Amino acid sequence: MSVWDDLVGQDPVVAQLRSAADGTVGTATSAGRPAGAPGGNMAHAWLFTGPPGAGRSTAARAFGAALQCTETPRGCGHCASCHQVLQGTHADVEVVRPAGLSYGVKETRELVLRASSSPSGGRWQIVLFEDADRATEAAANALLKAIEEPPPRTVWLLCTPSPDDLLVTIRSRCRLVTLRTPPVAAVADVLVQRDGVDRDTAEVVARAAQGHISRARRLATDPGARRVRAEVMAVPRRLTSVGPAVLAAETLVKAAEAEAKTMAEELNETETSALRQALGESAKGRMPRGTAGALKDLEDRQKSRATRVKRDSLDRALLDLASYYRDVLTLQLGAGAELVNTELAAELRTAAAQGPPEGTLRRLDAIMKCRERLGASVNPLLAVEALTMALRTG
C-alpha cells in the first residue's frame, strides 16, 4: 500500500509526482539551499487540473503526503506523516475548501500569512487549495504575490478543472499536473477490488459515471443514488404530453435536491464530529468552554456549502440526462462508440429510430442551455420545466 493507490488510471501523473517527491531527499547544494529545498523536479507551486471526478484533490493530497513522508521512497502510506496528511490532521498541511461560490481576499490574505510560516514539524508547509478557480480576482492577486516570492519551505498545491481557470500570471508560475478521465475499466477494477462491488454492477456504474470515481462508488454502494439516477433517466420516457412533462421536471428537481441533502448531511456529520474531537469533546459529549464560536463558524460554512451541493447535484442530473441523448445520437449516427447507458440499450434504439439526429442535437442543446440558466441562478423548477417542454418537442 502507498499514498498513490487512490489515483486510478493516472500512471503518468503518479510517475511525475513520485519523482518530484523522491527528488527532495537530501538535495542540499553548494548554493546554500536547505536540504530538500525545491530544485530538480520540485517546485513551490503546483497546479492539478483535470475533469471533475478524475481525482485532482486526491492527487494533490497524495503528493502532500509524499512530501511530508519520513520514509523512502516517499509516500509509503504507513508512516505517521502519511497517515496524518491523508486524514487531514497534519499540522503542516492546510486544506482549503471554498465552501461558498467564491473565495474572498480577506481569507486569502490570512491564508498567505499562515503559509509563510515555517513548518512546525513536517518537512514542508503545504497549502492544498481545492477549487482554486473559486478565488475572486482580488483573492487571486493576493495568491499571486505569495507564489511569486515563496518562503523556502512553502509549497502551494492548487486544484482547478482546467489551467485556463486561473490567472495566467499564477498559472505560469505553477508546475502543471494534468489528470485525465480514468478509463471505465480502471474505475470498475477499483470498485471490484477495493469496495467489493460485483463485476457487472461495477462496469455499469463505471460507465454511467463516465470516469467520475467517487460518483461511480456512490452509485455502486448507495441504492438511494441509483434510484435518483433511474428517475432522471426515466424523464425522456415520461415526455408523452404537456402534463407528464411538467411532472417529470418536478421529479427531476426534487430527486436532485434529495440527493444533495443526503450528501451535504453526510459531509456535515463527518466534519462536525472531527472538529468536536479536535476541540476536546468529553466522553459524555460535552464541549470545553470557548469552543462554541468555532462550531458556529463550521455551521455557517456548511450552510453556504449546501447551496453549492444542491446546484452541483442538479447539474449532474442534467449531465446524466444528456448522456441519454448522447447515446441516442451515437446510435443515429452509427458512430459505433460505446453507449454510456448500456442497460437502456433497447429503449435508446427505439428512440434513435424515431427521428433524425437534428432533433437529438436540439435536445442536447436545450440541456446545455438549461445548465447555463441554472448557473445564472434562474429558479430551478422553472428552468427544468422549460427544458422538459423543449425535450418533448425536440
For Zn ion, give the closer residue by CB, 82 or 188: 82
One of 17, 45, 69, 263 touching Zn ion (CB under 5 A): 69
One of 41, 51, 57, 71 touching Zn ion (CB under 5 A): 71
Instruction: Give the 3-state secondary structure percentages of the chain, helix then strand then coil, rounded to 5.
Output: 60, 5, 30
Q: Cell match 457487472: residue? A: 200
The CA distance from 50 to 47, in Å, is 10
The CA distance from 249 to 223, in Å, is 22
The CA distance from 100 to 310, in Å, is 12
Note whether 79 binds Zn ion by CB under 5 A: yes
Window 113-152: residues binding Zn ion (CB under 5 A): none
Note whether 22 binds Zn ion by CB under 5 A: no
For Zn ion, give the closer residue by CB, 62 or 197: 62
By CB under 5 A, the count of residues binding Zn ion is 5
181, HSE (Cβ side, Cα atoms, 13 Å): 11
Query: For residues 126 and 116, is the Cβ–Cβ distance under 8 A?
Result: no
CB of 76 to Zn ion, least distance (A): 4
One of 82, 155, 209, 370 touching Zn ion (CB under 5 A): 82
The residues, ordered by sequence, that sit 6+ positions from 64 with a Cβ below 8 Å of its Cβ are 85, 90, 93, 126, 128, 155, 157
CB of 3 to Zn ion, least distance (A): 7
Residue span binding Zn ion (CB under 5 A) among the ranges 78-86, 117-125, 223-231, 369-377: 78-86
Residue span binding Zn ion (CB under 5 A) among the ranges 38-46, 72-80, 201-209, 236-244: 72-80
The residues, ordered by sequence, that sit 6+ positions from 52 with a Cβ below 8 Å of its Cβ are 161, 212
Residue span binding Zn ion (CB under 5 A) among the ranges 76-84, 237-245, 253-261, 293-301: 76-84
For the chain, strand residue ranges (E) read 45-49, 93-96, 125-129, 154-160, 175-178
CB of 73 to Zn ion, least distance (A): 9
Note whether 67 binds Zn ion by CB under 5 A: no
* The three grid cell numbers given for residue 55, joined into one nine-digit string: 481525482
Note whether 391 binds Zn ion by CB under 5 A: no
Q: Taking the CB of residue 324, how many other CB atoms lie within 10 A of it?
A: 27
For Zn ion, give the closer residue by CB, 123 or 217: 123
Residue span binding Zn ion (CB under 5 A) among the ranges 74-82, 237-245, 271-279, 306-314: 74-82
* The three grid cell numbers given for residue 331, joined into one nine-digit string: 446510435
CB of 25 to Zn ion, least distance (A): 13
For Zn ion, give the closer residue by CB, 75 or 150: 75
| Interaction site with Zn ion (CB under 5 A) | 69, 71, 76, 79, 82
